[in-house]
């Protein structure tokens, strides 16, 4: 799988902002991607050295909407989250530097 298809987008939350100073970054990744594939994709896309990768499946949230026809209930999509920790001697990712 190509690196651009593995890393879908950065995940920007309050908790992920706290990790930027320690070179810990969060990404939404493809559901079928493994830790080794994620590590290679981040190293290829951002030219950094990855120390470790932690992954988890985030379940979608329940959403309700009141309309003229009654109440409709739905769910947001599930997604896979990867928390990537870089090595101490690695440079940081420029995209996240502009956020902090």
- pLDDT for residue 96: 87
Residue 52 is predicted with a pLDDT of: 96
Domain extent at residue 21 = 3-97
Number of domains in the chain: 1
Residue with tokens 């920007």: 12
Spatial separation of the C-alpha atoms in residues 83 and 39, rounded to whole Å? 10
Q: Is the dihedral of CA 39, 43, 49, 55 positive or negative?
A: negative
pTM of the full structure: 0.87
pLDDT tens per residue, range 41-68: 999 999 999 999 999 999 999 999 999 9
Going from the first residue of the chain to its last (100 residues), give the mean pLDDT of each consecutive group of 10, the final group possibly shorter. 93 93 95 96 95 96 92 94 96 84
* pLDDT in the model for residue 77: 95
pLDDT at residue 100, as a whole number: 63
The sign of the CA dihedral 24, 84, 42, 81 is negative
CATH number for the domain spanning 39: value is 3.30.70.330
């Amino acid at each position: 799988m190509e690196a651009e298809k593995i890393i879908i987008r950065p995940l920007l939350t309050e908790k992920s902002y706290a990790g930027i100073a320690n070179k810990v970054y969060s990404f939404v990744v493809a559901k079928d991607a493994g830790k080794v594939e994620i590590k290679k994709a981040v190293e290829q896309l951002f030219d950094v050295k990855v120390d470790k990768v932690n992954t988890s499946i985030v379940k979608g949230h329940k959403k309700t909407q009141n309309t003229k026809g009654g109440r409709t209930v739905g769910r947001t999509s599930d997604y896979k989250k990867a928390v990537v920790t870089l090595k101490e001697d690695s440079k940081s990712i420029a995209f996240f530097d502009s956020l902090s």
